[in-house]
Amino acid sequence: MTIFRRDIMGPALVVLFLLLAGSAASWLLVAPSLSGSVQPNYDVTRLVLYYSTLPRLATALLAGAALALAGALFQQVLRNPLADPTTLGVSAGANLALVVASLFLPGLLGASRDLVALVGSAIAAGIVVSLGARRGFSPYSLVLSGLVLSLWCGGLAAILTYLNQRYLTSLFIWGAGSLAQQSWVIPLSLLWKMAAVAVVCALMIRPLSLLDLGDSSSAALGVRLARLRFIVIACAVALAAFVTSAVGVISFIGLVAPTVARLSGVRRPGQLVLWSPLIGASLLFFADSVLQLVAGGLGDFLPTGAVTAIFGSPLLLALLPRLKIRHRIQESPVWNRSRQWSGTRSIVLAAAGLLALLGIGIFVGRGIDGNLALVSGDFSSDIFAIRAPKIFAALASGAMLAVAGSILQRLTGNEMASPEVLGISAGSTFGVAIGLFAVAPGFMGQFAFAVAGATSVLAVIFLSSRRSGFAPERILLAGIALSAMVDAVVGVLSSTGDPRAVLLMRWMSGSTYLVDGPTAATEVGVGAVLMVVAFAARRWLDILPLGPSPSAAVGIPLAKSRFALFGLAGLMTAAATLTIGPLSFVGLMGPHLAREAGLTRALPQMVGAALIGGSLMVAADFLGRTIVSPYQIPAGLVSALIGAPFLMFLMRKKA
């Protein structure tokens, strides 16, 4: 009886509190509309209430329930408490599909907007789940694969928005999760779609409950695992696609609602599937009501999805210590002396390739006729003075990100770890955003704000992970949460319509357009110092991947060494982000390619990763400058677009 009461009373109290608080905020919002004496048919205020405010509140309830149900389904069928449409890249896939259709195939949106979103979500889910299946549906492999895919989709969407601002400005606000409504069409359409999916989910509750027994036991009881996973994942993808098609990307509801349900006493899968939608609906209803009440007239222009991420990220950080998720550090590969020559040859080839790319980047470009040509004559010195700072800044930034990625991957034992996951690049973006909107500093002022933002995020990550001895999985989860929160803040600032948002978008895209000689010299100097420090820590990086016990046995202070190495990776990421923006996969590609080339020990891998990362950024800068000349695609976005498919291929190739 006590268990039953806790299973019922806990989540019921949470739902009741959120609904009462949201209803109070909604009443304060709509009360002025109900106090007038003018006839409703002619009262503009009441028309706004009936056809905008009330449909918006209904949409919040339905969207919150759908996303929470999708998150609960993902978490149960994948047995991953961190799975939701955001962390698995499903929402980002739907958003990218809608952006592409808006630009190139607008007729598809008129025919079936839901179908476009569903195709994008299905492709994203298929990629992430197939990669996770090859790794036994490891929670961190799934989440980090979803993050990679989300970054790639976001990078491509950012390029399309950057190159077509006059067409996609409103789509940018919608993509951040806008619940603004002008009729009852969207909530009514969501209602019957959710009802159809909910019926299927109700039929799947008993097989889902048997999954807790394990694959072999549930299969022995007659559960067809492959078919069950396909049906449940299809239902979750459909729910996320319907919401994204209707209102854009709403972050963290699908992650927070099931987590709150568990913490309030829910244990059984059937109860989780029942209470998660109720908590998600009341949570989004509460968040949107408070947003409209506080923002006033700006409520229709501020994206609710960004606001939910701002509130949801701190909640996830607070819940991290209570999440019992075990992560196994993989053993580092055994070094074979027979591969020493192969590794040395790889480093020599990488250095030669870097020199060749530097020569091409500096001396090759589009001529007046639009064709590729070598610079010559009296113009060579002027062109060198313009191009060289940008190229060397990109080189230093790519090398720093690659070395930071090597450190993170060796510390966490996860090949998908990267500087983007740590959240430091998002912190730099947050600092620059605050600087642009508060005091509008010059380039060096932006540098100072970026360092301050990165340092602040790094401090929060360390404080939230201190109790666990700076355990790698806590560091990664804190970075994911803070990245989402910072991106949400930047989205809110960008949706205000301020002209400075264009400058912020340019900086986030990783453009080297404004880099000059002094800035490049500073970037190269900082990169050289930090990489020398990283190379000096090679012994730690060789031993720590073996696990806590072997590291402690040889006298390595576990907490202090992790603190120092995570801090070093954070500083390198912050310095690199200043030049090539937060969207870059060099921190993932560099270590992967170095490992594929036979560089397995810490020092050779970091040297090889630095050479490869620098080469990739120099090549990205050259391609961005020449592909659509006279226009320029930022180097950070070019590297992201090339890097993600390449990494997906590598992950698919490895079992």
311 shares its domain with 359 = no
pLDDT of residue 606: 92
- Predicted confidence (pLDDT) at residue 27 exceeds the cutoff of 50: yes
Who's near 6: CB < 8 A, 6+ residues apart? 265
- Predicted confidence (pLDDT) at residue 274 exceeds the cutoff of 60: yes
Q: Is residue 335 part of a domain?
A: no
**231-240, 249-258, 629-638 — most confident range:** 231-240
The encoded tokens of residue 103 equal 């630009």
454 shares its domain with 533 = yes
Q: Measuring CA to CA, which residue among 220, 193, 223, 190 is closest to residue 208?
A: 223
pLDDT of residue 530: 93
- Predicted confidence (pLDDT) at residue 655 exceeds the cutoff of 50: no
Q: Measuring CA to CA, which residue among 274, 131, 277 is closest to residue 204?
A: 274
Q: Work out the average pLDDT over 440-454.
A: 72
Q: Measuring CA to CA, which residue among 91, 171, 163 is closest to residue 505?
A: 163
**Domain tally for the chain?**
2
Q: Is residue 466 part of a domain?
A: yes
DSSP conformation class of 50: I
Who's near 1: CB < 8 A, 6+ residues apart? none
Domain enclosing residue 426, as ranges:
342-653
H or E element at residue 75: helix 54-78
**96-100, 233-237, 478-482 — most confident range:** 233-237
Residue type, 587: G
537 contacts 568 by C-beta, under 8 angstroms: yes
Q: Work out the average pLDDT over 137-166.
A: 70
Output the CA torsion 638→639→644→649 (10° steps): 110
pLDDT of residue 270: 80
Least confident of 195-204, 620-629, 633-642: 633-642
Higher pLDDT, 63 or 510: 63
Q: Is residue 324 part of a domain?
A: no
423 contacts 490 by C-beta, under 8 angstroms: no
Q: Is residue 591 part of a domain?
A: yes
- Predicted confidence (pLDDT) at residue 611 exceeds the cutoff of 90: yes
Q: Is residue 138 part of a domain?
A: yes
- Predicted confidence (pLDDT) at residue 122 exceeds the cutoff of 70: yes
Higher pLDDT, 374 or 176: 374
- Cα(645)–Cα(491) distance, rounded to whole angstroms? 26
298 shares its domain with 403 = no
383 shares its domain with 450 = yes
- Cα(283)–Cα(64) distance, rounded to whole angstroms? 7
Who's near 365: CB < 8 A, 6+ residues apart? 372, 373, 375, 383, 387, 625, 626
Helices (H), 320-441: 340-363, 380-412, 419-422, 424-438
Tracing tokens 């491509």 back to the chain, one arrives at 156
Check the CA dihedral 116-119-123-129 and report its sign.
Answer: positive
Q: Is residue 2 part of a domain?
A: no
Least confident of 145-159, 403-417, 468-482, 586-600: 468-482
Distances (CA, A) of 294 to 1, 18, 111, 182: 42, 17, 37, 21
109 shares its domain with 172 = yes
478 shares its domain with 515 = yes
11 contacts 264 by C-beta, under 8 angstroms: yes
414 contacts 606 by C-beta, under 8 angstroms: no
Least confident of 134-148, 341-355, 385-399, 503-517: 134-148
Burial of 39 (0-12, 13-18, 19+ CB in 10 A): exposed
Last residue of a domain, one of 319, 354, 381: 319
pLDDT of residue 112: 76
Res. 152 pLDDT band, cuts 50 70 90: confident
273 shares its domain with 357 = no
CATH code, 364:
1.10.3470.10
The encoded tokens of residue 321 equal 């210590």
* Bridge partners, 364 (sequence order): 374
400 shares its domain with 282 = no
The encoded tokens of residue 583 equal 């969207």
Q: Is residue 329 part of a domain?
A: no
Crossing angle of the two packed helices 380-412 and 340-363, in degrees rounded to 10: 150
pLDDT of residue 277: 92
pLDDT of residue 607: 92
- Predicted confidence (pLDDT) at residue 458 exceeds the cutoff of 80: no
- Predicted confidence (pLDDT) at residue 234 exceeds the cutoff of 80: yes
- Predicted confidence (pLDDT) at residue 506 exceeds the cutoff of 80: no
Exposure on the CB side of residue 462, measured as CA atoms within 13 A = 19
pLDDT of residue 233: 87
Last residue of a domain, one of 319, 354, 371: 319
- Predicted confidence (pLDDT) at residue 131 exceeds the cutoff of 80: no
DSSP E strands in 229-384: the ranges are: 364-366, 372-374
Higher pLDDT, 423 or 346: 346
Q: Is residue 630 part of a domain?
A: yes
Dihedral pair phi/psi, residue 39, rounded to 5°: -60, 140
Higher pLDDT, 68 or 175: 68
Computed over every residue of the chain, the mean pLDDT equals 77
Exposure on the CB side of residue 102, measured as CA atoms within 13 A = 23
370 shares its domain with 229 = no
373 shares its domain with 302 = no
346 shares its domain with 308 = no
Dihedral pair phi/psi, residue 84, rounded to 5°: -165, 170
- Predicted confidence (pLDDT) at residue 116 exceeds the cutoff of 80: yes
- Cα(343)–Cα(430) distance, rounded to whole angstroms? 39
- Cα(140)–Cα(421) distance, rounded to whole angstroms? 11
Res. 337 pLDDT band, cuts 50 70 90: very low
**What is the chain's alpha carbon radius of gyration, rounded to the nearest angstrom?**
25
pLDDT of residue 34: 62
DSSP E strands in 526-607: the ranges are: none
574 contacts 451 by C-beta, under 8 angstroms: yes
pLDDT of residue 368: 66
Q: Measuring CA to CA, which residue among 566, 628, 23, 647 is closest to residue 292?
A: 23
Judging by DSSP bridges, how do beta strands 364-366 and 372-374 pair with one another? Answer: antiparallel
254 shares its domain with 359 = no
